[in-house]
Chains A and B, each alone.
Chain A
Amino acid sequence: MYDSIVSYLALVLLAAIPLIVTALGGMFTERGGVTNISLEGIMIIGAFVGLVTVNKLPASWFSSNFVLYLCGMIAAVIGGLIFAGIHAIAAIKMKANQIISATAINTLAPALALFLTMSLTLGEAQGSDKILVNGTRFIIERVPLLADIPFIGEVFFTNVYPSLYFGIAILVISSIVLYKTKFGLRLRACGENPHAADAAGINIYKMRYQGVFISGILASLGGYFLVTSFTNEFDATVSGFGFLAIAVMIFGNWKPKNIAFTALFFAALLTLSKGVAFFPALENWLYPPIPADTPPEQIAFLTYVSTKVIPNIISMLPYIATLAVLVLSSKKSAAPKASGLIYDKGER
C-alpha cells in the first residue's frame, strides 16, 4: 500500500508540473491584460523544438544528460518566445482580436510541427509523424542525502525528472514576482485597470508585451516538460494540456497557490486510469474477475464493461470535473477586469 501511494503521487506530480507551469504562463499574460488561449499551440512548439534539440545534438558534446536537458529547455523557450511574439504583436501592437490571433497559433503550431517532422525526417523513420522521446535518460535516480528522508525522499528525490524541480522553482518565483515586486504590481494594474496604470505613468504596452512573453516562456517549458516526462512518442500534440492549463488557471483564480492545488487535483484525475494499477484492491473492485461459473453468453458483455466502459468513464473524469468546477466556480471568478480588452491610449 505504501509503495502504491508513493508511485501514484510521483505520477500525479509528473502530470501536474506541466499543467502548473503552463497555467502560470497563462496567469502572467492575463494579469497583464492579454488573453492567450494559444497556450496549447505554444506548448506544442516548445515540446517540438526542445525534443528535436535533445534528439539531434550529439550526446558526446555533453558531460551529462542534465546539461542536454537544459539545452532542450533553452531551445524550447526560444521557440515559445517566437510564437508568443506573434500573438503579442497581433494583440498589442495591431490591436487584433486576441481570440482569433491565438486560434491561428493553435492551428499553425501542430501543423508546422508535423510538417517539419515529416519533411525533415525528424521522426523515427522516413515518413513517420512520430518523434521518439526516450525521456528516461533524464531521470535523476537519487538525490544524495535528501533521498533518505522517509516518504518525502521517495516521492521527491528518487527517480524523478528534472522538470519537478524546475516546476517547483517556477511556482515559487512566479508567486514572488507577482506579489512582491514592482514588476508584479505594475503588471496586475495593467490587467485590472490600464487607465489607472497609464495615469500612474506606466507603459501599458511594454508591460503587456512582457506578460505575453512570459506566457510564451512558461508554456513552451510546460510542453517540453510534458513530452519528456509523460510520453514515449511525440506526434505534434499535447492532448489538450494547454486548454486544461487554461481551465486550471481559471479555477485557480489567477493565483499561483490556487493554480498549484488545482493542477494537482486535475493531475490526480488525469492519472487515475493509470494509477488504479498501483492499487490491486481498487483494481479488483473496479474490474472484478469474471467468476468461473458465469454463463458464457455474459462473458463477452462483462469483458466489454471492464475493458472498455469503466476505463473510459475513468478517463472522462477530469473533463467532467472541468465542467462541474466551471459551473460551480463561475460566479466567484476573480478574473483580471481588463483581460482580453484592447487598450487604446487615445480612447475617451
Chain B
Amino acid sequence: MDYAIEMLNITKTFGPLIANNDVTMQVKKGEIHAILGENGAGKSTLMSILFGLYKADGGIIKINGEQVDIKDPNDANRLKIGMVHQHFKLVEVFTVLQNIILGVENTKRGFLETDSARKKIIELSERYNLKIDLDKQIRDISVGMQQRVEIMKMLYRDADILIFDEPTAVLTPQEIDGLFDVIRFFAKEGKSIIIITHKLNEIMDIADRCTILRKGKCIKTVDVKDVNAEVLAELMVGREVNFTVEKTVAVPKEIVFEVQNLNLFDKDKTKKILNDINFNVRSGEIVCVAGIEGNGQTQLVRAISGLNPSVEAGSVMILNGINIVDKSIRDRIELGLSHIPEDRQRYGLIMDYNLSENMVSNTYYHPEFQKHGLIRFDQIKKYTEDLIQKYDIRSSLGATSSARSMSGGNQQKAIIARETSKNHNFLLAAQPTRGLDVGAIEYVHKTLIAERDRGNAILVISLELDEVMNISDRILVMHEGSIYAELDPKKTTISEIGLYMSGSKRQTSEVKHEQV
C-alpha cells in the first residue's frame, strides 16, 4: 500500500507534559483521513510536527515512502505539505493577495511583483470555486472567506498534502457543506487530506479513515464505513457516552430577566455591536443564544454581567423587577445573577488562588465567611469541602489546590459549583462547555437542566448547534449584533438555524410575537 504520509512512533513533550506518546499514523494517497480526539489529546501537536512548527523528540516521518526531516514550515512547503490552522495565520492589515504570497514572493529587479501571482490565484479560485476578494484587507472579510484564503495559501504553494485543524469550528452549517465539497474535490484529484476534529458527525460525513488519539496515545485507526458515531465516541473517551440529554418539558413561569432596547457601541463609538436587543428569560426555562463567534454574543454577556457597563442610554435590563443597567457587578450578583464566564481562566477563577478562595470570590463579604473584617477560613474550607463532595470536583490537594493546577473540566466544575450554590435565580452561562471533553460536557448539561428544574431562569450562549438543540427550551439566533430569530427547538432544524446565523434569513417582528 502506498502511503502519502507516515508518522511513525512520534513522541513530543512540553516540559512535564507528554503531548504525543509513541503515536503512529499512516495516510493513504487521495484519502480523507480524520484525527479524532478530545481537547488535549495531542491532535494539533501531531500536525504541528508534520508541518514543521514543532520538532518531535522521537519517531520518524516518511513522505511518499521516503524518510524526511521537517525542521521548519519551509521544509513542509517543499514537501508540498500545507496546513490550515485552527486560529488562522493571517496578517490582518495585509490584503488577501499579500497574505497568500507572503513567504513565496516573486520579485522583479528587487521589487515585489504580484501580477503573475494574481493570475495564478484567479485561475485556482475559478477551478476550485473558492471565492475571494484579492484586494480586501483580512480584517474586512468574513471568517469563511479568511478560511478560503488559508486554503488558497496551500494551493498557491502547490500542496499535495492538506491539513485542516478544526476547520468547521468557525463556520455556519451552510459554509461547512461548501467546505466539505471542496475537500472532496481535492481528494478526487489525488490530494491527501488530514482533518483534525472532535465532531463525530463530521467524520462520519466526510472521512475515509480515522485515527483516534486519547491522552497523547494512539488508540486505533479505523475505516469509517465500519463504525458508527457511538463507537468513535467510545474510542475517543474510553467509555460509553450518552449523547442525548434527558430532560422533561419545561414549565416556564414568571419573567425573571428581561432586556429591552439594548444597544452597545464599540470602543471607538463607530460600530454598533449590539443592536436593539429585546428578549426575556422566564423561570424554569433554558434560553439559548446561538450564533457564529464574534456576532455580539461576548458583548451581550459583558453587558448583562456588568463587565462592560457602557451601554447606550435607553437600554433597559430588568432582573427580578429592578433595572440593573446602572448597577455595579456586586449589586447584580446580590440581585440574583450568577455568571459562568466564557473565559474561565480570565474571568472565572483567580488562577494562583486556591480552590477554597476561589469558591467564595463573589461571596466572601457575607457574614458567614467574614467576621469583623477578618475572613473565616475555617468556614470557607468547610463550605468548599461540601461543594467538592456535591459537585465531584477533582484536584490533587482538595480545597487547598491552586486553580491553575486543576484540569479544565474541573475548573469549570468549580465555577459551576460556586455560581449555582450562591443565592441566585438567574444563571448566565457563556459557552459553558467550551474546551471540555465529552464527559465534562455531559456533566455541565445535566447541571444546567437541574438548575432549570429547580425553577431558575437560564440564559446560555453557545456556538455549538448540537448543544443548542439538545438543552434549550427556546433559541435566539444572533447575527451581527441583532437577534435574527426566536425559535422553538422542537420545531426547527439545524440548517434553519444556520440560515439565520449567517444572516441570509431574518424573522420579521410579527412572526416573533406569534411564536412567543
Contact = CB atoms under 8 A, between A and B. Distances in A.
A336 to B, nearest CB: 9
B89 interface: yes
A192 B94 contact: yes
Contact of B102 (A181, A186, A195, A348): A186
A197 interface: yes
B94 A189 contact: yes
B71 to A, nearest CB: 11
Contact of B91 (A180, A196, A334): A196
A100 to B, nearest CB: 24
Contacts of B89: 193, 195-196, 198-200
A337 interface: yes
A281 to B, nearest CB: 44
A202 interface: yes
Contacts of B305: none
Contacts of B91: 188-189, 192-193, 196-197
Contacts of B98: 185
B505 to A, nearest CB: 34
Given A199-B89, A348-B14, A331 B105 contact: no
Contact of A188 (B14, B54, B94, B111): B94
Given A192-B91, A196-B90, A201-B77, A180 B112 contact: yes
A182 interface: yes
Contacts, number: 73
B93 interface: yes
A192 B93 contact: yes
Given A181-B111, A346-B54, A202 B90 contact: no
Nearest to B75: A201
Chain B contact surface mostly = loop
Contacts of B73: 198-201
A334 B110 CA distance: 27
Given A196-B102, A199-B73, A182 B94 contact: no
B112 A181 contact: yes
A202 B363 CA distance: 50
B53 interface: yes
A345 B48 CA distance: 12
B115 to A, nearest CB: 14
Contacts of A337: 92
B105 A182 contact: yes
B203 to A, nearest CB: 24
Nearest to B93: A192
How many chain A residues sit at the interface, stated as a range, is: 20 to 34
Given A196-B90, A196-B102, A200-B102, A185 B112 contact: yes
A212 B213 CA distance: 44
> Which one of A176, A195, A334, A346 has the highest number of Cβ atoms from chain B below 10 Å of its Cβ?
A195
B102 A185 contact: yes
A195 B90 CA distance: 8
> Which one of A180, A189, A331, A345 has the highest number of Cβ atoms from chain B below 10 Å of its Cβ?
A189
Interface in B96-145: 98-99, 101-105, 107, 110-112
Nearest to B110: A181
Given A185-B98, A346-B54, A199 B85 contact: yes
Nearest to B102: A200
A345 B14 CA distance: 13
B14 A202 contact: no
B268 to A, nearest CB: 6
A189 B102 contact: yes
A224 B98 CA distance: 37
B74 interface: yes
A274 B105 CA distance: 50
Interface string A328-340: 0001001001000
Listed from nearest, the 10 A-B pairs whose CB atoms lie closest are A200-B103, A201-B74, A196-B89, A199-B89, A201-B73, A201-B103, A182-B105, A200-B102, A193-B91, A192-B91
Given A192-B93, A196-B89, 5 more contacts: A185-B102, A189-B94, A193-B90, A199-B73, A200-B89
20 contacts: A181-B111, A181-B112, A182-B107, A185-B102, A185-B112, A189-B91, A189-B102, A192-B92, A196-B89, A196-B90, A197-B91, A197-B102, A198-B89, A199-B51, A201-B73, A201-B77, A201-B104, A202-B102, A345-B53, A348-B14
